Amino acid sequence: MNTTKLILVGGFLGAGKTTLLWEAANRIMNKGKRVGLITNDQAPELVDTALLSRNEIKVAEVSGSCFCCNFNGLIKAMQLVRDEANADVLIAEPVGSCTDISATIIQPLKENLVKELIMSPFTVLADPNQLSDILNGGTAGMHPSAAYIYRKQLEESDIILISKADLLSKTELNLLQEKVKLHFPDTDVMVVSTLFDEGVEDWLEQVNNRTDAGKRLAKVDYDIYAEGEAVLGWLNSTIELAGEQTNWDEFGRNLLSELSRQFDSINAPVGHVKMILETGTDFMVGNLTGKSHTLIFRGSAGQSDQARLTLNARVEMSPEALEQIVLKTLETQADNQVRFKINALRSLSPGRPNPTFRFDHIVSIAQ
């Protein structure tokens, strides 16, 4: 059986993983290789899946639990993508609030699928502003237990990839790299800006050519880990929208901006809020990864009578309160001009992580 390259990209909510995966997949395909993507979430109706599927790439979604708690689901998803896409490269994105990936995913894969997979170094993507505050002993505006998860993700990484490098000056970026190296001297540190097309090719060269995956295990307190996940309310929804020749870009911007205002008004830390508005072949994506200044929109859904909205939110509040805010904001923004029908809506708080496997040692692979 032919071997397949597996690239695992972790990192906390809002780090920019999906944007990086989109760019990486395009670059790999442009070099003549076939790519499959695997997304992961605690519930279905993912913006990531809807977006990445538009890239003419086979995408499999492992939903209902994280990779570590549904290891068999991950294996089935990888097999599905390999078979249907004949993929040379698989790129998988674990849930953003997950950690202990090395012990629960990478080591079991190394032991059980060594003849089928060539594993790349485990990359953890890190937002530069959050990363700087975490390294300074802060919580980056998060609950302390959520910040604990963030730090554990860094500890177990093979490559720390500082994302959104365009947010910092050259001097600030160099200082941050040096600080990361002081805290994690045995971990490679790289930087990337998908906005300005910087660093992506260098990172791809590393993950395509190296096989030193899962070189370290983090010591994880599962009580703190469980609390860090439980403080977040999660909401996934798909909604059909209708309105006579509606400007969907304006509608989407107003909706996400108002949600941001609502969360800021009650000081509810945002992990991320993502949306994709689709009208046939046209679409607009919106992202909120903190306060209102982090709002980003790209693409255009244009003007038409109908649209499809997929919305995902991860915010520090109860799922009930999150659902109430989202529904009330949607009703307000519709304002008798737009009709909406909810196809699916799920709100929850993640349960305690219960991994299928958890190795206490590094699995060695003969080179």
Q: What residue type is 44 in one-letter code?
A: P
Q: Is residue 277 scored above 80 in pLDDT?
A: yes
Q: Which domains does the chain have, with CATH numbers?
A: 4-228 (3.40.50.300), 234-348 (3.30.70.360)
pLDDT at 44 over 90: no
- Asked whether residue 114 carries a pLDDT value surpassing 90, the answer given is no
- pLDDT, averaged across the chain: 95
Cβ contacts of residue 10 below 8 Å, gap of 6+? 17, 93, 94, 96, 98, 99, 101, 122, 123, 124, 125, 153, 157
Per-residue model confidence (pLDDT) at position 195: 87
CB neighbour burial string for 78-107, b if at least 16 within 10 angstroms, e if fewer: beebbeebebbbbbbbbbbbbbbbbbbbbb
Give the mean model confidence (pLDDT) for residues 307-326.
98
| Per-residue model confidence (pLDDT) at position 55 | 76
For the stretch 169-198, pLDDT in tens is 999 999 999 999 999 999 999 999 998 989
d(C-alpha 355, C-alpha 104), whole Å: 6
Measured over the CA atoms of residue 178, residue 182, residue 186 and residue 192, the dihedral's sign is negative
CA 35 centroid distance within chain: 18
Q: Residues 282-309: pLDDT tens digits?
A: 999 999 999 999 999 999 999 999 999 9
Nearest to 70 by CA among 37, 35, 108, 21: 108
- Amino acid identity for residue 235 in this structure: L
**What number is the average pLDDT over the span 206-212?**
96
- Average of per-residue pLDDT across 130-146: 97
Provide mean pLDDT across the span 47-71: 91
pLDDT for the residue numbered 366: 63
The predicted model scores a pTM of 0.95
